[in-house]
Amino acid sequence: MYPGRGVAEVAAGNSAAVWCGTRQQAGFITLEGLVAVPLLTMLLVTMTALFMWSFKTYFTTLADAELVQEVQMAMVRLQGEAAAGTEIKSLNGGRQGFTLRRRTNPLRSEESGKEYLDISYYLHEMTGTSKLVRGYNDAPLTGDHGLARVTITDFSAVADTEYPEVYNLHLTGRSEVTGHEYTVSAAVYIHKPAEQLP
């Protein structure tokens, strides 16, 4: 049982024999602690870093998805209204945007439909982001999602050089969270009334 000790000595309560084994075990416990504590610390640090990375990735993905959604939805609405329009004019005063003129009732014929409606699309600085606005400052089409903070960096409607009735729409947004940009372009044919044709 113990080298150099008899069973009788241990049974008789030889404390020297008993404590000799305990000292050897204490050395192994200390060695195990020296190995286990750094490994446990490394494991906890790795798990914390993995959790923080997953948390950041989730919000980055959410912000980019919101960026794409806001720019696409704004372009769909803009494209739909421009397709029903009769004229696009640049805004006065140096603001980036344009005024879209369309019939109040597109189903009327050109002879009977003499009433027109002007709709303004422009960029407006609100709460630190540049938002695309339709009509009024308090009706933004982009930039309302707090986690994404989408700001519009480029917005234009330019007549095609070869086909003047065709306008090239361009909209670029940037996420202030990730710094990524997303651009959508579309070509729209503007059906001008007969009185505006050359």
**Of 157, 165, 170, 186, whose CA–CA distance to 91 is shortest?**
157
DSSP characters for 76-126?
HHHHHHHHTEEEEEEPSTT-SEEEEEEESSTTS-TTT---EEEEEEEEEEE
Question: What is the phi-psi region of residue 143: left when phi exceeds 0, alpha when psi lies from -120 to 50, beta otherwise?
Answer: left
Question: pLDDT tens-digit profile of 121-137?
Answer: 888 887 778 888 888 76
| Residue at 108: amino acid letter | R
89 within a domain of the structure (yes/no): yes
161 within a domain of the structure (yes/no): yes
Q: In the predicted model, is pLDDT for residue 198 greater than 60? A: no
Question: pLDDT tens-digit profile of 62-108?
Answer: 889 999 999 999 999 888 888 888 888 888 766 788 888 877 665 65
Task: Give the global pTM.
Answer: 0.67
* 3 state DSSP class of 32: helix
26 within a domain of the structure (yes/no): no
* 3 state DSSP class of 16: helix
25 within a domain of the structure (yes/no): no
Question: pLDDT tens-digit profile of 160-196?
Answer: 888 888 999 999 999 988 889 999 999 998 877 655 4
Confidence of residue 21 (pLDDT cuts 50, 70, 90): low
Confidence of residue 23 (pLDDT cuts 50, 70, 90): low
Identify the domain containing residue 126 by its residue range: 52-196
* 3 state DSSP class of 57: helix
pLDDT on residue 105: 65
How many domains does the structure of the chain reveal? 1
* 3 state DSSP class of 167: strand
179 within a domain of the structure (yes/no): yes
